[in-house]
Structure 1
């Protein structure tokens, strides 16, 4: 993950230097009397529904970015699948998928366990100009087509894939949000904030202009009624630097260092306005033994608390739309134990491609559900693998 952190740091620096000093206002400022739940909520530090912190469940968002594979699936099994929330129901995580090296049969299994699947693009290309190009079609072919691929190769209905995250958190401003809105996405979780950490900013809709600070990429200025932003509230690492993704934080050398950093940042939320606490990372970060052990210890701590719930992003938004006190949390259907999905069967097919059938000139392997292997390796603008590949330039 050191390579990812370096790439992200370079992209963030370059993108930030290219940003205008301020966003031009197009959407109107939010008037709380005109923006009410469940369909609209102003960007704010206030707990939805006017609840007090003591009445508010502390939510924790566990998310993993990029492909699911055999290696990281082992960690998901050991860390996530057997943990229980205070109401006796399984905790839930959100998986932001990109295509390359993705094992769609394992994605099928994760979905059938009740976890959430979201789109993170097909290519995850490192060319920042592509994401910042103000091109709606770019986003359609990356984010919406990735959702189509998950349906086609893992059997998961597109209607269940409600959210997205931009690669490297490089939001594409109104082009990105126009694409997400046109394609029926309900929410996005790509937007870091370092100005609204303690107290933290709650999720809100883009009916009106957001007051959130714009740190990376290009932020939207137009109105997108009913579309939700889930702010990525920055952590502060061992050197005091802000970091939206755990794996870009400087965490120290030991498992205790990792645990203490995660705990210190958590307590700002827990002892503050109970804004959602995000554990956003790439699973490869957990290949380091100290990272893994510190992270596991922190999850162990969280699951001892009777007012802390580890939920998917869509579950969080269900609560925000209908703020429910802790004393009545069992009335919130989507947080209950009844699985709100029909499990999707998966007859596995393993597909192997030599370099002549991929755009990379090297072999790729992927596992899919319930259909024959595409003749060519599926990729950007060729999601069904029906056309011969052209050389890929990231």
Structure 2
């Protein structure tokens, strides 16, 4: 139905520091192993599992990126980036690892020291709470009191992107964020707000990459195949009938 499933890891093991020193083979077993399980146990086509995120955003230097590159992952989404304080710099666009990323793009190592041509990075960018403090993901900032505050929190972070360089805003969150009912209501209100903007689209990481490879103006976006939803619901209905 247009929902993209990416790989995480088989074990999600503790302590978080284990991932910083895990071997190349460890990452193959964890990242590729999870991809294989998604296919064998959940029926997700292997070719559709294009991305990966490491637990705790704890990078594993070239052991991790080498395993992803050799096993044909299209993108990683584990690098933590963004200014410490809101307004200090513009958001970061996704980028490829054709070059070794510097501190601006990879703030929480150990970072890769080699090049991985064609492997994309969808950065995990800092969010900023209404109290001004930053966090890695939306559910990490200070809790909001009601749906209206949640809406304003989401809109204020969105405006940083919309009013600057228009980099994609990654809304990456853990399921625990929805333990408070008002957060889901606030998110629904935020989506309703986005739907009023004719130049804003809610897309997957793979669709972001597809657009960056082939930038398409709004005047032609309705014919941009990578963003089409045609047939998705029908495919699911047919599968259920089988």
TM-score under structure 2 length normalisation: 0.90
How far apart in 2 are the matches of 1:148 and 1:346?
Answer: 22
Displacement of 1:186 after TM fit?
0.7
Flag structure 2 segments of 5+ consecutive residues without an equivalent.
none
**Which residue number in structure 2 is paired with residue 145 of structure 1?**
33
Q: Which has the higher contact order (CA 8 A, sep 6+)?
A: 1
Runs of at least 5 residues in structure 1 that lack an aligned partner in the other structure: 1-112, 348-369, 371-394
Name 2:122's counterpart in structure 1: 230
Instruction: Give the Cα separation in 1 of the matches to 2:231 and 2:212.
Output: 20
1:278 equivalent among 153, 165, 170: 170
Q: Cα offset for 1:239?
A: 2.6
Greater share of residues in strand: 1
* Residue-pair matches, total: 236
Moved over 4 A (4+): 340-344
Measured against aligned partners, the alpha-carbon deviations of 1:195-254 in whole angstroms (never above 9, x if no partner) come to 397421111111112233433242112000100001122111123222121111113222
**1:326-337 aligned within 5 A:** 326-337=218-229
CA gap of 1:278–1:264, structure 2 versus 1, over 3 A, is same
**Alignment counterpart, residue 263 of structure 1, candidates 155, 158, 161:** 155
Q: What is aligned with 2:181?
A: 289
Q: Distance in 2 between matches of 1:346 and 1:137?
A: 37
Counterpart of 1:220 in structure 2 is: 112
The 2-side partners of 1:213 and 1:335 are apart by: 27
- SS of residue paired to 1:278: coil
Match of 1:166 in 2: 54
Separation (CA, whole Å) in 1 of partners of 2:120 and 2:222? 24
Separation in 1, partners of 2:213, 2:98: 15
2:13 to 121, 125, 134: 125
Over residues 141-193 of structure 1, what are the superposed CA-to-partner deviations in whole Å (9 max), with x where a residue is unaligned?
Answer: 11100000011011222111000011111111111100101111010111121
Change (3 A) 1:155 1:252: closer
* Mapping of residues 282-361 of structure 1, within 5 Å: 282-339=174-231, 343=236, 345=239
Give the superposition deviation at 1:129: 2.8
Q: Where does residue 75 of structure 2 map in the other structure?
A: 187
> More helix by proportion, 1 or 2?
2
Among candidates 129, 143, 146, match of residue 251 of structure 1 = 143
When Rg is computed on C-alpha atoms for both structures, the one with the higher figure is: 1
